[in-house]
């Protein structure tokens, strides 16, 4: 089987800054949805940008249905751009500031092949699906709140009729009641339209609800991956464990002053060394990721 | 901590055309206090912050009522009258800061310039910068970069570091940790509390995660459809919500079914 998108040995570099290295992943509706979680600055957005052709791989390849996206032209390129749709961290960036909500959706529907008499009804349906007041249709992005913009960006992506949604923090600016409804919407389109997600998120709860596989990034490397259940319920890498344990809880305690870990990653060996409670001399050698529920760690938790 | 309020809001209302999108009948924030604003998307939280910091002048918004920051009336004040307040006395950490940073200047230079403009001597500036970047978990090497060359979460931490460096007495922050992973988020929340307790900074924080709010806030304001529907001490509002919407917010808070690796 050729996957819809196959990432192989991908590295992303900005100047001499290596943002992501040696990353491989198959994305296909048949394989379910994938969560990408990890440290701020670990390379998650860089991965999304590479999948969408917004940044060129420094190494490795990204193939759409078996063909390198770097060489896609004409109809094949349009297919890739239609079937893989982004929803970015900040809705503002993804939306044309001069277009009204309605005009943005109309354009997206046209790209997806819908024109003519059915367009207005479909626009109404899309707005309803992301719980936006139809009266907002005449507004431009700067006249919307952060959460409203984020929902327009989701509606726009859906309008094109994608098979894979690449979502970068899609609900980070939404209050929890709307968030819950957007999650339900994403669950619904997964089930009824077979659309799969590559979901970049800081929310462990969101990854848990919406995805089948989870990849954890730290400092540009994949440090753990497996089924979402395994990774989130039985984390093996010390960073993953700390990430899950740090999720705020009602009346939870804050870390004591002076316990802040070093901000910079180690420059050789395991990058997590400077913060890891389990670090020892072995960790001077970069640990490799192997196995089905793998962890790039010399002393995994389990 | 006691003393004159840092912020005193009465009958604030903001309208676009004939639509009122945000109203706050009354709010005072004392030095060292952390006030959280929670509420539905589109309920007027960001608009309220902008109005309080006097950032809606020259826009289509119509602002009425009174907002006193450290004794100075902000509503209707000229940009010139507000200048002495900006930065060193009141600061805003925006919902998505990346777009608002001067794209032609390296982050380090942005910090140094801001400190210089506020009369901080160079040697002290360096010490403050080192402290603030460490406190927000930002690698100092990133200060060599331009704003578009850092990740979303790094830009967010930079914006917090900037407000912290200047020693602002009132810091308004719109979803200040939404782009941070949970490990960094906890450190930033601890920083918010610490600055409140040690330096007496007053915080006005818009957030949507009620668990997070419970960890830092003294006082909570719940907004819906442009109105404050509930307001009170965090303990009371979150433990015994009066308004149906606050209850819905609490019920919808996402949690991990198991305790994870705790
Ligand atoms: N244009 C650029 N030039 C140089 N470095 C960059 C550039 N864009 C990103 N980086 C760096 O690459 C690394 C990865 O960034 P990326 O945006 O992929 O992180 P992320 O995982 O999405 O983080 P966040 O959760 O904070 O959004 C970061 O260290 C960042 O500073
Ligand atoms: N320039 C504008 N013109 C007209 N209406 C606007 C403008 N800016 C904001 N609004 C409207 O005002 C209302 C309040 O917006 P605001 O940004 O304050 O909401 P918010 O509570 O911060 O929401 P979110 O959680 O989604 O960020 C929204 O309904 C929004 O559409
Ligand atoms: S390899 Fe060592 S430092 Fe790295 S995560 Fe494992 S125990 Fe910690
Ligand atoms: Mg990112
Ligand atoms: Mg807002």
Residue A109: closest CA among A97, A88, A124, A87: A124
A92:B96 CB<8 A = yes
Residue of B150, B155, B159, B178 to test ligand 1 pocket, by largest number of atoms within 8 Å of CB: B150
Is the pLDDT reported for residue A116 higher than 80?
yes
- Cβ(B137)–Cβ(B186) under 8 Å? no
pLDDT at position B23 is: 98
pLDDT digits (tens, 9 = 90+) for A240-254: 999 999 888 888 888
pLDDT digits (tens, 9 = 90+) for A56-76: 999 999 999 999 999 999 999
Give the pLDDT mean for B146-161: 90
pLDDT at position A175 is: 72
A252:B187 CB<8 A = no
- Cβ(B129)–Cβ(B115) under 8 Å? yes
pLDDT digits (tens, 9 = 90+) for A28-52: 888 899 999 998 899 999 999 999 9
Smallest Cβ–Cβ distance between B154 and the set A40, A206, A208 belongs to: A40
φ and ψ at A87, to 5 degrees? -130, 110
> Ligand 1: does its nearest atom lie under 6 Å from the Cβ of A40?
yes
Ligand 2 atom with the shortest distance to the CA of B206: 22
Is the pLDDT reported for residue A110 higher than 70?
yes
Helix (H) or strand (E) holding B225: none
Q: The tokens of A264 are what? A: 């910079």
pLDDT at position A258 is: 59
Is the pLDDT reported for residue B1 higher than 80?
no
Residue of A45, A50, A90 to test ligand 1 pocket, by largest number of atoms within 8 Å of CB: A45
The per-residue pLDDT of chain B, averaged, comes to 90
pLDDT at position A90 is: 61
Give the pLDDT mean for B115-144: 91
Instruction: Say what the ipTM of the complex is.
Output: 0.84
Is the pLDDT reported for residue A174 higher than 80?
no
B183:A242 CB<8 A = yes
Higher pLDDT, B119 or A8: A8
* E strand intervals along A17-145: 17-27, 34-38, 59-64, 67-68, 84-87
Give the pLDDT mean for A13-40: 93
Smallest Cβ–Cβ distance between A251 and the set B96, B183, B214 belongs to: B214
A260:B134 CB<8 A = yes
Q: Which residue of B has its CA nearest to A254?
A: B190
Best-predicted range by mean pLDDT among B11-20, B174-183, B239-248?
B11-20
Give the pLDDT mean for B48-69: 95
Higher pLDDT, B236 or B87: B236
Ligand 1 centroid distance, CA of B15 (Å): 38
Which residues from chain A sit within 8 angstroms of residue B261, using beta carbons?
Answer: 234-235, 240-241, 244-245, 301
Q: Does A97 touch chain B (CB under 8 A)?
A: no
Give the pLDDT mean for A196-221: 93
pTM of the shown model: 0.90
Preferred mutation among B41, B59, B103 to probe A, highest tally of A CBs within 10 A = B41
Q: How many whole angstroms separate alpha carbon A47 and alpha carbon A40?
A: 13
Q: How many whole angstroms separate alpha carbon A72 and alpha carbon A272?
A: 38
pLDDT at position A158 is: 93
pLDDT digits (tens, 9 = 90+) for B69-80: 999 999 999 999
pLDDT digits (tens, 9 = 90+) for B224-261: 999 999 999 999 999 899 999 888 888 877 664 433 33
């Amino acid at each position: 089987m050729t996957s819809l998108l196959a990432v192989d040995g991908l590295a992303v570099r900005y100047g001499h800054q290596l943002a992501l290295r040696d990353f491989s992943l198959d994305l296909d509706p048949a394989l379910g949805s994938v969560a990408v979680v990890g440290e701020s600055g670990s390379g998650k957005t860089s991965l999304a940008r590479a999948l969408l052709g917004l940044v060129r791989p420094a190494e490795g390849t990204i193939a759409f249905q078996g063909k390198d996206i770097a060489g896609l032209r004409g109809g094949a390129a349009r297919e890739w751009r239609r079937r893989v749709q982004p929803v970015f961290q900040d809705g503002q960036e993804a939306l044309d500031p001069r277009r009204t909500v309605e005009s943005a959706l109309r354009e997206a529907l046209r790209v997806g092949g819908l024109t003519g008499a059915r367009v207005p009804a479909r626009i109404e349906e899309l707005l309803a699906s992301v719980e936006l007041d139809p009266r907002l249709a005449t507004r431009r992005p700067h006249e919307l709140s952060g959460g409203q913009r984020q929902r327009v960006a989701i509606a726009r992506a859906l309008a094109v009729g994608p098979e894979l949604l690449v979502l970068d923090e899609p609900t980070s600016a939404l209050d929890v009641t709307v968030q819950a409804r957007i999650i339900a919407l994403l669950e619904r389109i997964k089930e009824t339209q077979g659309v799969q997600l590559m979901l970049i998120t800081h929310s462990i709860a969101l990854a848990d609800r919406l995805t089948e596989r989870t990849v954890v990034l730290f400092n540009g490397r994949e440090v753990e991956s497996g089924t979402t259940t395994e990774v989130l319920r039985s984390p093996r890498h010390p960073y993953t464990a700390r990430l899950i344990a740090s999720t705020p809880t009602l009346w939870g305690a804050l870390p004591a002053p002076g316990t802040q870990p070093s901000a910079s990653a180690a420059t050789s060996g395991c990058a997590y060394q400077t913060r890891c409670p389990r670090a020892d001399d072995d960790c001077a050698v970069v640990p490799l990721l192997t196995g089905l529920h793998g962890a790039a760690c010399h002393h995994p938790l389990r | 901590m006691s003393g004159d309020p840092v912020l005193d809001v009465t009958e604030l209302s903001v309208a676009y055309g004939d639509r009122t999108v945000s109203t706050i009948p009354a709010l005072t924030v004392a030095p060292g206090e952390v006030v959280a604003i929670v509420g539905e998307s589109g309920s007027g939280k960001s608009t309220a912050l902008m109005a309080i910091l006097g950032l809606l002048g020259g826009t289509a918004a119509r602002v009425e009522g009174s907002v006193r920051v450290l004794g100075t009336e902000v509503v209707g004040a000229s940009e010139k009258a507000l200048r002495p307040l900006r930065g060193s006395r009141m600061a805003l950490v925006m919902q998505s800061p990346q777009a608002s940073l001067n794209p032609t200047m390296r982050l380090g230079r942005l910090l140094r310039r801001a400190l210089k403009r506020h009369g901080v001597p160079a040697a002290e500036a360096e010490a403050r910068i080192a402290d603030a970047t460490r406190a927000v978990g930002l690698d100092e090497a990133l200060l060599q970069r331009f704003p578009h060359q850092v990740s979303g979460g790094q830009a967010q931490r930079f914006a917090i570091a900037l407000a912290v460096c200047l020693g602002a007495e009132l810091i308004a922050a719109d979803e200040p940790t939404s782009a941070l992973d949970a490990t960094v988020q906890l450190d930033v929340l601890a920083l918010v509390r610490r600055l409140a307790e040690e330096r007496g900074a007053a915080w006005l924080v818009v957030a949507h995660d009620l668990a997070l709010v419970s960890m830092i806030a003294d006082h909570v304001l719940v907004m819906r459809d442009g109105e404050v529907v509930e307001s009170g001490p965090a303990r009371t509002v979150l433990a015994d919500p009066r308004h149906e919407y606050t209850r819905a917010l609490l019920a919808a808070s996402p949690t991990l079914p198991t305790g994870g690796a705790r």
